[in-house]
Structure 1
Amino acid sequence: MVLMVVKLLGGIGLFLTGMVLLTDGLKAFSGDALRRALLQFTGTPFKAFTSGTLLTLLVQSSAATTITLIGFVSAGLLSFPQAVGVVMGASLGTTGTGWLISLLGLKVSLGLYTMPLIGIGALMKLLARGRVRALGMALSGFGIMFVGIDFMQQGMQTLSEHFSLRAMDMDGLGIRLATMLIGMVVTVMMQSSTAVVAMTLTALSTGTVSFEQGAVLVIGAAIGTTMTGVLAAIGGSVLAKRTALAHVLFNLSTGLLALLLLPAFMAALGWAQHYLGLQPGAVSLVAFHTLFIGVGVCLFLPFAAPFAHLIERLLPSRPDTLVNLLDESQLQVPEVALDTTHKALERISLEMFDLLAVAAQCPVRNDGQAPVLEEHKVKKLKQALRQVRDFFARIPVDEESVYLMPRRLEQMHAIDHLVRLQSRLKLPEQLCDIGINPQATEGAAIARQVLEEARRAVEDPAVAHAEAEAMARQTARLLELRQQVRLAVLRESAGGHRDSFDAMKVMDVMRWLERVAYHSWRVCHSLSGGTTPEPEQADLD
């Protein structure tokens, strides 16, 4: 009896470990291709459904697809109606592992044959680099998964000799709901519906449960798997919560429908076994899983848009903020998290440019009136920049995401220059108190022009590089002007023609204008993917 428990628990553990390694390995091996494919092939509900199905078949995890999807939607890369189709596809795609187990894993002891894959994969993981290393992890996971199935079979075989649920009456709705609840709870505990389906298929093949009991457990697993998305959406954006709710409502509705129509499904499977040669047992159970999810897709997919609008009414949008795109779920997919920080940095940059443009008007007005920057806007801007910095610092960095290093570097440069621009929001007291000064007037005009070009560059990526080049020229001109003014006012002050305190005022204002222009240019340069190194400057504040 103890040996049976050890084998059963060990088999479950090996299967879960194999699934994690397989999923993580395939995601890392595919790299940015999964992201590009999902974004490219989601134009219509049917395309989105197909993409969700294929993606889940590839990574062997509907939970992984859902978490990735939540990140995409939160980042604004996919619209919510598109996400609804992907959710349905993920639910159908997760049945693929069941087919693999029922057709191969339970018929042939693949654990022995997949042992070499574990060894080869481990060597690839240890010795190789980059995507080959990720492929090695996936191969090892695939092998470990089937070794786990072998141990589960052995444990279930022994369990069936001492304990069986086959004799339990399943006619009442209450007992069906209780059995479904067991499937849900076990799935939530394991965080894997595939593992619960594998356990159910193994139990069915050894006679521990009846076909009807197995069918109800599979329904429970389909509903329970939505909790992974719910957990990922907790504390997230409204879009993340909408996606998780869509997954819950679709799987819950489909599961309850399958439970109510279970006799009809059983009759349909019996007909298929008799006339179409469908194999009884585990294969038929996987067919049932695919069938009831497929029926749900047929009922929901034509009404994907109204379904999405219903959820949008249930979870209305919150007021827009500079960083409302940031979502904890995106940290699961570094490339999505970087997309989000890029969008947030663009929003912050535009707000920053607007505030600084107001201040840069001052030397031109020359009325002695200091510009008033709205305090709540400045406070909001500083808070948003701090949140982006914190979020950026928590984006995972590992060997599998080394291809993202250029994007990380660009955003680090942008954040650095935005922090320096933020310090320029504390305006020099003498900004509007320097008297009539042609050089300061010219410098302010150049700074305002740079800020206007910076706004256009951020708003329209198509002109970003051209605007960045123009800003580089204007910034160089302003630096030259600043140096000329500095030498001139120092000479005037030394010769007694200008008050030394007034000379310091002029130099401070010119420094402020030149630094604002310079950092604005470098922000746009970084956000547009520029690779030109920063020019050497006399000061880098």
Structure 2
Amino acid sequence: MHKVIRQAGLPVLLVALLGLMIWNSALATLAAGVALFVLGIGRLEEGFRAFSGGALERWLKWSTSGLWRSLLVGVISTAMVQSSTLVTLLGIAFLSAGLINTLGGVGLVFGANLGTTSGAWLIALAGLKLNMAQLSMPMLAFGVFLARREETGWRGGGLALLGIGLLFLGIDLMKTGFSGFEGAFDLARYAVEGWAGVLLFVLIGALATVVMQSSHATLVLTLAALAAGQVQYDNALALVIGANLGSTATALFAAIGSNNAGRRIAATHLIFNLVTAGAALLLLHQLIAAVEWLADVGGLAADAHMLKLAIFHTVYNVFGLVLMLPWSPLLVRGLERWLPEEAAMADCGMLSERPRTRAKYVNDTALLHADTALKVLEQELQHLAQLSRQVVGAALYLPHDLTALPPAELHARVRQPVPLAVREDADALYERHIKGVYADIVDFLSHVDVSLLPEQQQVMMNASVAARDLVAAVKAAKHLQSNLRQQIDSSQPVIRQAYTQLREQGGLSLLELRHWLDTVDDTQGRERRLEDGEAQDQRFAETFQRDLQQHLRNRELDGWQATSLLNDLHYLLRVRRHLRRGHIGLTQRVSADEAERLEQAVNLA
């Protein structure tokens, strides 16, 4: 029953709104203005990202190494794009991807809250006095024309112009809508005095911001209603406080799909606005007195309520900064203790005894733009590579502490009996630890819809290929284990020795991969390791096949057993080559020659 009511709620709400709009044309005009304003913010954000070629994101990443620098960046960025929500979401994405530290993220959120005041001043000074509809017309015309161009720069500029035009047109319609209420009813008659009115309008402002997902839209509505005399000045101040509180909803929704690092930004945003709102309500009369004093100093008229509202919005956010900045280091330590980094999975122990594994780094928040998407994808590939090495090692019944063994000790350990208790099922391990992570990576790649530069598209393609190679290595190891499971305890010494050699070669490959990530910026070293690995594969394959031929001639093996060993040799070669190729993909810098040579190597296997 509850599900039916919830599903029917939205259609009922839409029908009710439609009825209200039909009943009163002013309300329809007001709703259209809000819709155009919110749509304009979205187009402005999209256009700025495309027009700047990711400059905003790179600037944020570069400039958030300290508190004061990130504070300034948050103020300027929010003033440029007129969206504290976008800057906060970028902060969540950057912190979740490890591109900035917690202190920089805290400063970014603080600055974004102060940067929202620029919109209030713009609208109070000119937005409701000029003919915004007339100003928007050329912007809309040029914006639509340029947004249809294929070139990223022209398209981004067109979207930005289109966004600004929609903002201006939305403001004009909201102003017209509130003016039209005069003939229908006077909202000011429903004003509530005292603290009950303050709390009621704080709640209304918060709910309006949650519904519209934009504190700027709530602020414009408040200014338009104040200019039309539809809301009292005291109640408008409460609406401003509520709008700031409601802006935390978007960040909290984004934090659900983020990791603990990204959730710190959402928590900072929530704490800042809760503390600021609570303190501002306790000292509301003192803040209003400060606004009146500043208005007198500026020579404003007593009834210049719109400019006073902009002053209050600024004083309110500056008050929050003064209140919170001294506690920033303590806040950072508390957030890092409350929301710690997820512990990395150790390379030892039984894999079958560990919880089912899913992706650790890719999340919906990182999809906001290319930099964070590529960063978390790189981290998730390293996670998948670690899991793949562990599952391959378990499939070959190699020691759990393999990465700590020198080759000589590995040689001795693989010749010892393998207890039944430590023999793990590769098929079960694939389902438990590989398939879920790979599925999450594929799903993440399918949702990357941000504009990518050509080199970023290449990196994304390399990452997709690397993930497939890592999974292919595990699947080859699964096939190898099917015969290994039956023959590791064979009564024929020749068969036991052959599988011991295959297991040892698999272990040597895993030991070799320990050094691959050290060659990220060493192209020559990476190529040398690749050539050495291919030469080692060829030498081992030739020796193994020559020995098989000798055993066949000596009647120590029959044809059936020899073909099974040859098949398992090729499975091992595929394991080694796919692992090698997947780990090259982790560097994100695969050259064309390397890719072609690896493709040929895998095809030959």
Structure 1 residues 222 and 76: CA distance shift in structure 2, 3 A: same
Q: In the alignment, residue 367 of structure 1 is paired with which amino acid? A: R
In structure 2, the gaps of 5 or more residues are: 1-22, 346-356, 400-409
Q: In the alignment, residue 473 of structure 2 is paired with which amino acid? A: L
Q: Encode CA deviations 1:111-130: one digit per residue, 9 max, x unaligned.
A: 21221111111111113422
Alignment partners' CA distance in 1, 2:213 and 2:344? 33
Alignment partners' CA distance in 1, 2:24 and 2:188? 23
Q: CA deviation at 1:304?
A: 1.1
Match of 2:433 among 378, 381, 394: 381
1:475 matched to which residue of 2? 533
Alignment partners' CA distance in 1, 2:314 and 2:461? 45
Q: Encode CA deviations 1:274-321: one digit per residue, 9 max, x unaligned.
A: 222357332221221121111111211221121233344555666656
Q: In the alignment, residue 95 of structure 1 is paired with which amino acid? A: T
Q: Encode CA deviations 1:84-140: one digit per residue, 9 max, x unaligned.
A: 221111211222222222222112113212211111111111134223212211111
Structure 1 residues 425 and 400: CA distance shift in structure 2, 3 A: closer
Match of 1:331 among 367, 381, 384: 367
Structure 1 residues 242 and 172: CA distance shift in structure 2, 3 A: same
Structure 1 residues 175 and 33: CA distance shift in structure 2, 3 A: same
2:580 matched to which residue of 1? 521
Match of 1:298 among 312, 316, 322: 322
Alignment partners' CA distance in 2, 1:242 and 1:181? 25
Match of 1:367 among 385, 409, 415: 415
Q: Please, what is the CA RMSD of the aligned residues?
A: 3.2
Q: In the alignment, residue 309 of structure 1 is paired with which amino acid? A: R
Structure 1 residues 472 and 235: CA distance shift in structure 2, 3 A: closer
- Judge which range, 490-499 or 388-397, deviates more: 490-499
How many residue pairs were aligned? 540
- Judge which range, 246-255 or 333-342, deviates more: 333-342
2:603 is paired with a residue whose SS is coil
Q: CA deviation at 1:360?
A: 8.4
Is 1:228 the counterpart of 2:280? The answer is no
Alignment partners' CA distance in 2, 1:317 and 1:202? 45
Alignment partners' CA distance in 1, 2:335 and 2:438? 32
Is 1:533 the counterpart of 2:595? The answer is yes
Is 1:353 the counterpart of 2:389? The answer is yes
Q: Encode CA deviations 1:458-500: one digit per residue, 9 max, x unaligned.
A: 3x46566455323311232134225524763575477566522
Structure 1 residues 235 and 540: CA distance shift in structure 2, 3 A: farther
Alignment partners' CA distance in 2, 1:94 and 1:58? 10
1:163-178 superposed matches below 5 A = 163-166=185-188, 171-178=193-200
Is 1:80 the counterpart of 2:132? The answer is no
Q: In the alignment, residue 406 of structure 1 is paired with which amino acid? A: Q
Q: In the alignment, residue 341 of structure 1 is paired with which amino acid? A: L
1:411 matched to which residue of 2? 463
Structure 1 residues 292 and 399: CA distance shift in structure 2, 3 A: closer
8 Å CA contact 1:242–1:311 kept in 2: the answer is: yes
Alignment partners' CA distance in 2, 1:120 and 1:400? 24
1:504 is paired with a residue whose SS is helix
2:6 matched to which residue of 1? none
2:135 is paired with a residue whose SS is helix
Alignment partners' CA distance in 1, 2:337 and 2:416? 52
Alignment partners' CA distance in 2, 1:11 and 1:204? 16
2:20 matched to which residue of 1? none
Match of 1:27 among 41, 49, 57: 49
Alignment partners' CA distance in 2, 1:388 and 1:159? 51
8 Å CA contact 2:477–2:575 kept in 1: the answer is: no
1:64-463 superposed matches below 5 A = 64-166=86-188, 171-278=193-300, 280-315=304-339, 320=344, 323-356=359-392, 359=396, 364-365=411-412, 367=415, 369=417, 372=422, 374=424, 380-397=432-449, 399=451, 404-426=456-478, 427-428=480-481, 429-430=483-484, 432=488, 435=494, 448-458=507-517, 460=518, 462=520
Alignment partners' CA distance in 2, 1:35 and 1:129? 20
Alignment partners' CA distance in 2, 1:388 and 1:370? 34
Q: CA deviation at 1:403?
A: 5.5
2:17 matched to which residue of 1? none
Alignment partners' CA distance in 1, 2:433 and 2:195? 57
Alignment partners' CA distance in 2, 1:235 and 1:125? 31
Q: CA deviation at 1:76?
A: 2.5
TM-score (norm 1): 0.89
8 Å CA contact 1:331–1:394 kept in 2: the answer is: no
8 Å CA contact 1:489–1:503 kept in 2: the answer is: no
Q: In the alignment, residue 286 of structure 1 is paired with which amino acid? A: A
Structure 1 residues 122 and 103: CA distance shift in structure 2, 3 A: same
Is 1:510 the counterpart of 2:569? The answer is yes
8 Å CA contact 1:114–1:147 kept in 2: the answer is: yes
Q: CA deviation at 1:249?
A: 1.6
Q: In the alignment, residue 389 of structure 2 is paired with which amino acid? A: F
- Judge which range, 58-67 or 274-283, deviates more: 274-283
- Judge which range, 383-392 or 134-143, deviates more: 383-392
TM-score (norm 2): 0.80
- Judge which range, 441-450 or 513-522, deviates more: 441-450
8 Å CA contact 1:360–1:513 kept in 2: the answer is: no
8 Å CA contact 1:218–1:289 kept in 2: the answer is: yes
Q: In the alignment, residue 346 of structure 1 is paired with which amino acid? A: Q
Q: CA deviation at 1:196?
A: 0.6
Structure 1 residues 82 and 387: CA distance shift in structure 2, 3 A: farther
Q: Encode CA deviations 1:396-429: one digit per residue, 9 max, x unaligned.
A: 2355666531121110111111111111342443
Structure 1 residues 34 and 17: CA distance shift in structure 2, 3 A: same
In structure 1, the gaps of 5 or more residues are: none
8 Å CA contact 1:457–1:463 kept in 2: the answer is: no
Q: In the alignment, residue 494 of structure 2 is paired with which amino acid? A: G
2:11 matched to which residue of 1? none
Is 1:44 the counterpart of 2:66? The answer is yes
Structure 1 residues 538 and 171: CA distance shift in structure 2, 3 A: closer
8 Å CA contact 1:125–1:133 kept in 2: the answer is: yes
Q: Which has the higher contact order (CA 8 A, sep 6+)?
A: 1
Alignment partners' CA distance in 2, 1:538 and 1:106? 67
Alignment partners' CA distance in 1, 2:309 and 2:467? 54
Alignment partners' CA distance in 2, 1:147 and 1:335? 33
Q: In the alignment, residue 517 of structure 1 is paired with which amino acid? A: R
Q: In the alignment, residue 511 of structure 2 is paired with which amino acid? A: E
Structure 1 residues 369 and 501: CA distance shift in structure 2, 3 A: farther
Structure 1 residues 416 and 314: CA distance shift in structure 2, 3 A: closer
Alignment partners' CA distance in 1, 2:289 and 2:123? 24
Q: CA deviation at 1:223?
A: 0.4
Q: In the alignment, residue 321 of structure 2 is paired with which amino acid? A: V
1:107 is paired with a residue whose SS is coil
Q: Encode CA deviations 1:58-77: one digit per residue, 9 max, x unaligned.
A: 32211122222222222222
Alignment partners' CA distance in 2, 1:476 and 1:320? 31
Alignment partners' CA distance in 1, 2:140 and 2:209? 26
1:533 is paired with a residue whose SS is helix
